[in-house]
A = this chain, B = another copy of it.
Amino acid sequence: MAIQTTGLTNHDQSCHLRPQLIESIIVAVAEGNKSEFMRLIDPLHEADIADLLEQINPEQRNRLIELWGGDFGIDVLSELEESLRKEVIDRITPEQFADTVSDLEADDIVDIVEDLDREQQSIILSGLERSDRAVIRMSLSLPENSAGRLMQRRFVSVPEYWNVGQTIDALRSRDDLPDDFHHVILVTPRMSPTGQVALGRIMASARDRRLNDLLERDFRVIPITQDQKDVAYIFNQYHMISAPVVDETNRLVGVITIDDAMSMLEEEAHEDILRLAGVGDESLTHRVFTITRQRLPWLLINLGTAILASLVIAQFADTIEALVALAVLMPIVASMGGNAGTQSLTVAVRSLATRDLTSANLWRIIRREGLVGLLNGVIFALIIGGIGILWFGDLALGIILASAMIITMIAAGLSGIAIPIGLERVRIDPAIASSVFVTTVTDVVGFFAFLGIATVFLL
């Protein structure tokens, strides 16, 4: 990896792989021109190479990996998305792994290995020294999504009574320092962390200064079994750069750094967005059949709720036959309800995710959503009631539309907040399931209110 004196050399204004560069690499791969290929790929960061592999088509990808051969940079693997990782690993020889895998940090290896099948796992692990292998196996025995899987095993700890000079001297004599570390962790003789000192403070202090006087103001340790989402939350909330991880006996076993927390945080928000739309773990590299299969369940559920709504409509077939304008106007009520419900549920889902919605403000927020629904309901009742009267010249129809709109909007607001909260209480991810329930409520209430009121008044 070459040193880049300016960050944007290989990037367009948006700091990404330039399309022309991708084009040139594809050409070099197609021509089997290895020296040209190596010249183009060499200055690229492994994250950009991973993006490249994700963006080209499967045939180009296979040819590229073949051409790259033994020089394949294993650090690209930890940047690749999961589904592609398996594919790429299948095309790399076990020898390539054996040579290079030991260059990676333990957390990166765990990240690569955890989603592979047993056979692929052993291929990678066989490239490691016995002791490293034991460390990885230990990590893999921890619960998925636990802090232990996110942590680095290498860290810098010193006795709590040390001073600056002792620390610097000790660091200079060590040859197993982590690639990146930001704090020196103070520990008791039993390896319990008692505080940490930022490297900047150590460097800025005289040699005889005690580390205990330089402690970081705010110190938090992370239990090894803590959920990764909580870890991301803590890092973001308290602006942390790195934090020690402890096992059940409060023994220091590793360190989590902010870059891992940052990836987690982004992943979580990304997941929420996709789940809200009923998409799941989808990626651009998935094939048509995979995508279709992944989107199917949600569409199937939606079909169920749509049929439910149709059943409601079917009850009022006579009314519709008597006044076909009802069929023309009823989707408006349902659509408005669906949208208002989506607004309300999205705010609720995000507030739960960012932990802004708590028992302290729960009832206030529920009341607020009800009021917003009422207010918007009245506003749109006036608008749509007016339109109904003007369009069909039928005062009664306008009043029916207006009343149905108010009822539906209130139902939308309340179900939009109550359903995510209810799901969270029974430990179902509100992001994944709220939409179905809320739109079912708004559809059913919308059609029922509109057609029901119409039946009572018109027939």
Contact = CB atoms under 8 A, between A and B. Distances in A.
B198 A180 contact: yes
Contacts of A340: 295, 299
A410 interface: no
Nearest to A223: B8
A243 to B, nearest CB: 8
A401 B130 CA distance: 63
Contacts of A334: 331
Give the number of copies in the complex: 2
A241 B261 CA distance: 12
Nearest to A373: B292
Contacts of A69: none
A272 B277 CA distance: 13
Nearest to A250: B6
A124 to B, nearest CB: 21
Interface stretch (A29-37, A88-96, A354-362): A354-362
A180 to B, nearest CB: 7
Chain A interface size band reads: 35 or more
B269 A303 contact: no
A272 B269 CA distance: 10
A206 to B, nearest CB: 6
Contact of A3 (B180, B217, B299, B387): B217
B309 A7 contact: no
Interface in A261-308: 261-263, 265-266, 269-270, 272-274, 276-279, 282-284, 287-289, 291-292, 295-296, 298-299, 302-303, 305-307
A26 B8 CA distance: 51
Interface in A33-50: 45, 47-48
A386 B103 CA distance: 58
Contact of A346 (B178, B239, B273): B273
Given A8-B220, A258-B262, 18 more contacts: A4-B218, A14-B233, A22-B360, A51-B355, A57-B361, A172-B204, A172-B206, A239-B259, A258-B259, A261-B262, A299-B336, A299-B343, A299-B376, A302-B335, A306-B336, A313-B331, A320-B327, A331-B331
27 contacts: A5-B194, A16-B355, A19-B358, A48-B237, A51-B355, A57-B364, A168-B168, A172-B203, A172-B206, A180-B198, A181-B200, A203-B203, A235-B262, A236-B263, A258-B262, A269-B269, A269-B270, A273-B350, A274-B346, A274-B347, A284-B357, A295-B340, A307-B387, A314-B328, A317-B324, A320-B324, A324-B327
Interface of A: 1, 3-8, 14-17, 19, 22-23, 45, 47-48, 51, 54-57, 156, 167-168, 171-172, 174, 177-178, 180-182, 194-195, 198-200, 202-206, 215, 217-222, 230, 233-241, 243, 258-259, 261-263, 265-266, 269-270, 272-274, 276-279, 282-284, 287-289, 291-292, 295-296, 298-299, 302-303, 305-307, 309-310, 313-314, 317, 320-321, 324-332, 334-336, 339-340, 342-343, 345-347, 350-351, 354-361, 364-365, 368, 371-372, 375-376, 379-380, 383-384, 387, 443, 447
* A-B pairs, 3 with minimum CB distance: A7-B220, A269-B269, A277-B346
